[in-house]
Amino acid sequence: MTQPASRLVCAGCGDEPRPGEPYPFRCPNAGRDDDVDHVLRRELDLSQVRFPAGDPEPNPFVRYRQLLHAYHVAAAGGIGDEEFCTLVRRLDERIAAVDGHGFAATPFGRSDELSDRLGFSAVGGVWVKDETGNVSGSHKARHLFAALPQLAIARSRLSAGERTLRVFVPVDADSLVLERLEELGALITACPRTAGVPGDPTVHRLLEALAGGALPFTCQGNLNGLAVEGGETLAWEIASAGVPLDRLVVQVGGGALASACSHGFREAHALAHCPRPRLDTVQTEAAWPLKRAFDAVTARGGAGVLHDASQHRSAFMWPWEHEPHSIAHGILDDETYDWLAVVDGMLSTGGTPVVVGESTLEQANVLAREATGIAVDPTGSSGLAGLLALREAGGVVDDECVALLFTGVSRSDVHDDKEGRDEKLSRSRHPVAQGF
């Protein structure tokens, strides 16, 4: 009997969603007070899939469909290739009706001016993946979209995007974001912090909703295993460009982006024999739970203790002790929820975690905007802040090819364009926890 080409397996306990479970986004044992890191990961049988090299299809969820879990769930349910593509395109059309456009491969290329300013040679340089023009103005829509085909398949119709969205937001959430959410009919709950209670209050409320039966439409990889897979499309697009990358510097908040890049390049390397770059990560001095965990793992012996770490999560990852503040507010998660996969990615490629201060974040944002003309926000350019710190420390040589991800559009720039206010509303980053 042929084994399925794709399955979801918990990295902590090894359990899988029950047969017939229509919404297998979380480990069945998640929520238990056992200190195990219950995170579903999508595993592919690489002998049954191919990497679509040279495919001109612009929609990444169509182009890379053989690598998506929902595609293989559909096939097992009798849904053919053409029907699956139709399903994805119909969902994409519904998104375009709200956001003004759907998904397409985002620009990726060498920034000559940025490379020159940082002193790289003609052999090396800085390559930028510009996600600011993506759906919602950031990479996060990629993570979320991966769940929609599965929802549509589970409901046997193409209306997965019509569910009511419950959104848990911080008390200082952007007013324009809230206005847009209200226009779309979302149910919004502001979540103040409670004295003496560690962790993100929006996540606490989300977990309460999940316990009550809500579905996790969220970018946290530990709550929605398909969210990481959705982000892998970004790595696959870079891998398809054929650039011999030496290093990828990724900003980290909850960890889904870095985890997705790590998994995506690992699979692209195995399938297409493209380079697997070193993975370096960036957090702010205001909160760096990932580096704290990385240091704890390396102090105990490195990669050899990762399985033990997955069974004793609280010894390595716990909420930041105080409320952090930074201009790079999008990476101020109290915890790095998918930390284990990111630490594994750094250790297996020789990468390191970098912590940067506010002045470096500010310098990086000014430099990014001047050198590339991209209206990226300080969160979205914080990978460049990490590269500046690595260059200053002598950790990156002139001939290296380094990739950065500009992941968030500057809301103030779009807001200043009065004629584009509606576009601003639809493309703002959403610093929220969400659930169906």
Predicted confidence pLDDT, tens digits, the chain (436 residues): 567 899 999 999 999 988 777 677 889 998 888 999 999 999 999 999 999 988 899 999 999 999 999 999 999 889 999 999 999 999 999 999 999 999 999 999 999 999 999 999 999 999 999 999 999 899 999 999 999 998 888 875 444 456 778 999 988 887 877 888 888 888 999 999 888 888 889 989 998 988 888 888 888 888 888 899 999 999 999 999 999 999 999 999 999 999 999 999 999 999 998 999 999 999 999 999 999 999 999 999 999 999 999 999 999 999 999 989 999 999 999 999 999 999 999 999 999 999 999 999 999 999 999 999 999 999 999 999 999 999 999 999 999 999 999 999 986 665 555 344 344 333 333 333 444 4
Spatial neighbors of 175 by CB under 8 A, at least 6 apart, are none
What was the pLDDT predicted at 173?
A: 84
Average pLDDT score over the chain: 90
Structure tokens at 202: 């929006």
pLDDT digits (tens, 9 = 90+) for 329-365: 999 999 999 999 999 999 999 999 999 999 999 999 9
What was the pLDDT predicted at 179?
A: 86
Rounded to an integer, what distance in angstroms lies between the CA atom of residue 335 and that of residue 140?
Answer: 17
Other residues' Cβ atoms within 10 Å of the Cβ of residue 151? 21
What was the pLDDT predicted at 419?
A: 44
- Could you give phi then psi for residue 406, rounded to 5 degrees? -90, 105
What was the pLDDT predicted at 431?
A: 34
Give which of 7, 432, 29, 34 is closest to 222, Cα–Cα: 29
What was the pLDDT predicted at 376?
A: 98
DSSP state of 335: S
Give, in order, the Cα–Cα distances in Å from 205 to each of 28, 159, 251, 336, 432. Answer: 20, 26, 25, 18, 11
- The strands making up 247-251's β-sheet, listed across from edge to edge, are 108-110, 125-130, 401-406, 247-251, 278-284, 353-356
What was the pLDDT predicted at 30?
A: 87
Write the CATH number of the domain with boundaries 6-435: 3.40.50.1100
What was the pLDDT predicted at 161?
A: 52
What was the pLDDT predicted at 194?
A: 87
Give, in order, the Cα–Cα distances in Å from 13 to each of 4, 34, 37, 112, 226. Answer: 20, 10, 8, 47, 18
H-state helical runs in 241-305: 256-272, 289-299
Rounded to an integer, what distance in angstroms lies between the CA atom of residue 70 and that of residue 203?
Answer: 26
